[in-house]
Structure 1
Amino acid sequence: MLSVLDLFRIGIGPSSSHTVGPIRIAGRFLAELQQAGVMPVVERIDVELQGSLALTGVGHATPKAVVLGLLGLDPETLDPEDADNRVSALEASGQLTLPGGRQIAFVPSTGIRFAYDVIPVLHPNGIRLQAFDAEGTKIADSTWYSTGGGFIASQRQLERPVTADIVPAGPQVPHPFYSAAELLAICEAKGVSIDTLILANENAMRSAGETGLALDRIAGVMMACIDRGLSRTGILPGGLKVRRRAPEIWQKLQSGPPSNEREQLFDWLNVYAMAVNEENAAGGQVVTAPTNGAAGIIPAVIRHYCWDAEDRTARVRKFLLTAGGVGLLYKQRASISGAEMGCQGEVGVACSMAAAGLAAVWGGTPQQVANAAEIAMEHNLGLTCDPVGGLVQIPCIERNAIGSVKAANAARLALHSLEQTKVSLDQVIETMRQTGIDMSSKYKETSQGGLAVNVVEC
């Protein structure tokens, strides 16, 4: 089993697959060079971005991400401002300091190549890294894939033959499950809630105290991101001249809240989600939930429904554990990569996870929680990923706002019924997977179709 902490990763914007993943891949490449004992003779490093990483890499800050990884930075601990300064210094000097202190020439504009013509077979987000010695002899050559949500895999891993549908990963846990049906059956047999079951699995991977503190830290980073997004004004980077709107909406809410509950619900959820995704678009610190492009939905719902409660810690932990459990199903049975599934695999999955978490906080049974997750995804099926200009701004920022409202509504609908919905959670996950496979690549994070070609950049 994967851990829910694998889904909720702290990193930087604007993309988990195009920014966080490449940082980790470049760092892993350096680690391999060290392990192979060839680092002392490395004189040149070449990087080739393939597939979606090439087609939308500029707008997703992928070249910068590769540089950050080569500089030895970790997406979870780096400071965004310091990272920008270090990238600028490297671009000015043309010198990359390798582990151990030795410097080699590296100019990002020539050392990182966009292979627009290469569409990888194993996964759309490919990166090939090569190292050469002083004579130009190739001493290392590896291809990696950024598979969504900050997850990465080497070509060797993905080409490994498997004899079953499930590839075992991670430590043994007391309650392994590989479908929603299995998850619900275990909950019924044990007489426990989904979050209790997930917590037992998590505590098999680390101590209970460490799990709790990790969940609290994730929630804290989410809320800090909202706070920054509510206060920072200006134009987002990238050339589309998209103005930050969350601070203005926030000021209106503070000065004169809407008069009726429905408008108030929409506005609060909207402003919190937009605050996160405007921060993400600016390259700020966010939590993949389960991706950066969909990072605003879960924090928005937590902020509005859990953060001011007296039992905040218990509510938030229940929410994250339940949402994470549902997210694991999507990760294990389909994908959370926009380059594979379109935006249904990002905003759709985040909406489904948030609906499940909220239904649990509201006292829903395991079946009602699964119903909430199913309802949310059912009405995100077919959602395309067609970012204008390759930037995680249009339609991504507003899409998170809409997704947060959908999540709350799905949770409410699920609590009105006791039986399983006609469409099960497993069935909707499989439908999402099949839809993603059938979807044209133009609508899967390549900026080759939809809004990306019908909206003129200016």
Structure 2
Amino acid sequence: MFSIKELFKIGLGPSSSHTFGPVKACEYMKSNYNADYYDVTLYGSLALTGKGHLTDVSIKNVLKNCKVTFDFKTKCEHPNTMCIKAYSDYKEIASHIFVSIGGGQIEMDGKKNEEKPHIYPHSTMDDIQRYCREHHLRLNEYVNQFEKEDFDLYMDSIFEAMIQSVKEGLTKTGKLPGDLKLDRLANALYQSALSAEDSIDRNALLLASYAYATSEQNASGNVVVTAPTMGSCGVIPSILYHFYQDQHYQKKTLIEGLKVAGLIGLLIQENATISGAKAGCQAEIGAACSMAAAMIGYCQTQTNEQIECAAEIGLEHHLGLTCDPVGGYVMIPCIERNAVAAQRSVDAARLAKYLRNVRRNRVSFDMVVKTMNLTGNKLPIELKESSLGGLAIVVK
């Protein structure tokens, strides 16, 4: 598996697969070819929801002099496929096929990112757990053993970016961009939380407001962190912010927990996918909930087995979740879904803490990741980030 640095990335929203990834592809073309014109063709989900995801706008911001074509008919192996051709003096000088595989990561011409080193010797939770038992390691220590020396500094920057996305989002009011004309709700939710008399309501509303804050920042094209994607970027930051500002956890503890969350995300990407266009929202929100539950488990000093159980619960109960963005925007149901998943990650960690004390889980984390991948393959294209089904055709 690659470094967690490949999973957590800071960038502009609203979509890691539909804007962040294509932007990286365009930057590659721009830096490698002395071209004066580009022809970009988007296929599959990139074409179907490209307008709402600002894919064409992001591409033109990088390449400037270019034509963007939405091809709705050509079938590709991966739904997030694009072709970029570079021209100089009206002659084609380069042509590459890019695939945006999720989380802002891209592959070119069928190559599986072979230039990026695999730093982890294991690719399943079962193998990692076995190694940790043999060497008496917690999951964060396992991560620290294989990441490079600059990793802590990088994770500190990720932590700060997540905290900042919540802070900025809480201060914003008005409407989100786009045709849906949705109001920003993070600030209103936060004010409601402050006036809540019941402590349970207060904490739940605080958590929701933080998830809304980051998700609204993303929907507005502002800076967020892929966690593991931009469509699910509100879940982990909401937990971090709540634990840091309201529950007064130490920053060091939270960053170590963030490493554990990253490990869970890597395992999901390695053995399934984190792309909504590939497997529905179970691959994005489900993955984020799983990662956040594992992070909470670590921060609450749960055992490795309890942490695995928390991650498994977080993902299992999002199986089959569809990706059906209304109008192609990362807004409905995406923003509210981030808030719900944040709540569920807390529940998953709590449940795992006590369940794992009384019995061994029948369903392992590896099993549920495999199941998510199989389920994603069975979902019709209408329910995988195409805006051709589900809420996208019911909500007007």
- TM-score band, normalised by shorter chain: over 0.9
Matching residue's letter, 1:32: N
> Among residues 271, 292, 304, which one is paired with 1:366 in the alignment?
304
**Aligned residue for 1:193?**
138
> Among residues 276, 279, 285, which one is paired with 2:214 in the alignment?
276
State whether structure 2 residue 57 is matched by structure 1 residue 64: yes
Q: Secondary structure of the equivalent of 2:110?
A: helix
Q: Quick check: 2:286–2:319 contact (8 Å CA) kept in 1?
A: yes
Q: TM-score if structure 1 supplies the norm length?
A: 0.83
**Aligned residue for 2:26?**
26
Structure 2 residue runs of 5 or longer lacking an equivalent are none
| Structure 2 CA distance for aligned equivalents of residues 169 and 184 of structure 1 | 28
Q: How does 1:106-125 map to 2 (within 5 A)?
A: 106=65, 111-121=67-77, 123-125=78-80
Q: Secondary structure of the equivalent of 2:257?
A: helix
Q: Secondary structure of the equivalent of 1:141?
A: strand
The answer to which of 263-272 and 308-317 deviates more is 308-317
Q: Which has the larger radius of gyration?
A: 1
Q: Secondary structure of the equivalent of 2:385?
A: coil
Q: TM-score if structure 2 supplies the norm length?
A: 0.96
> Among residues 42, 55, 60, which one is paired with 2:48 in the alignment?
55
**Aligned residue for 1:86?**
none
**Aligned residue for 2:339?**
401
**Aligned residue for 1:438?**
378
Q: CA deviation at 1:67?
A: 2.1
Matching residue's letter, 1:66: I
Give the number of equivalent residue pairs: 394
| Structure 1 CA distance for aligned equivalents of residues 256 and 87 of structure 2 | 50
**Aligned residue for 2:389?**
449
Q: 1:157 to 1:172 in 2, by over 3 A?
A: closer
**Aligned residue for 1:156?**
110
Q: CA deviation at 1:307?
A: 4.2
**Aligned residue for 2:328?**
390
| Structure 1 CA distance for aligned equivalents of residues 234 and 28 of structure 2 | 28
- RMSD, matched Cα: 1.6
Q: CA deviation at 1:133?
A: 3.2
Q: CA deviation at 1:52?
A: 0.6
**Aligned residue for 2:253?**
315
Matching residue's letter, 2:132: C
| Structure 2 CA distance for aligned equivalents of residues 45 and 230 of structure 1 | 39
Q: 1:213 to 1:348 in 2, by over 3 A?
A: same
| Structure 2 CA distance for aligned equivalents of residues 199 and 294 of structure 1 | 25
Q: Secondary structure of the equivalent of 1:142?
A: strand
Q: Quick check: 1:131–1:138 contact (8 Å CA) kept in 2?
A: yes
> Among residues 88, 91, 94, which one is paired with 1:133 in the alignment?
88
Percent of residue pairs bearing the same amino acid type: 39
**Aligned residue for 1:377?**
315
Structure 1 residue runs of 5 or longer lacking an equivalent are 34-38, 71-95, 97-105, 159-166
Q: Secondary structure of the equivalent of 2:158?
A: helix
Q: Quick check: 1:195–1:321 contact (8 Å CA) kept in 2?
A: yes
Q: How does 1:87-98 map to 2 (within 5 A)?
A: 96=64
| Structure 1 CA distance for aligned equivalents of residues 116 and 222 of structure 2 | 30
Q: CA deviation at 1:252?
A: 2.5
| Structure 1 CA distance for aligned equivalents of residues 50 and 22 of structure 2 | 10
Q: CA deviation at 1:191?
A: 0.8
Matching residue's letter, 2:341: G
Q: 1:185 to 1:307 in 2, by over 3 A?
A: farther
**Aligned residue for 1:13?**
13
> Among residues 193, 199, 214, which one is paired with 2:154 in the alignment?
214
| Structure 1 CA distance for aligned equivalents of residues 116 and 351 of structure 2 | 35
Q: CA deviation at 1:172?
A: 5.8
Q: Secondary structure of the equivalent of 1:383?
A: coil
**Aligned residue for 1:88?**
none
Matching residue's letter, 2:282: Q
Q: CA deviation at 1:127?
A: 1.0
| Structure 1 CA distance for aligned equivalents of residues 242 and 118 of structure 2 | 36
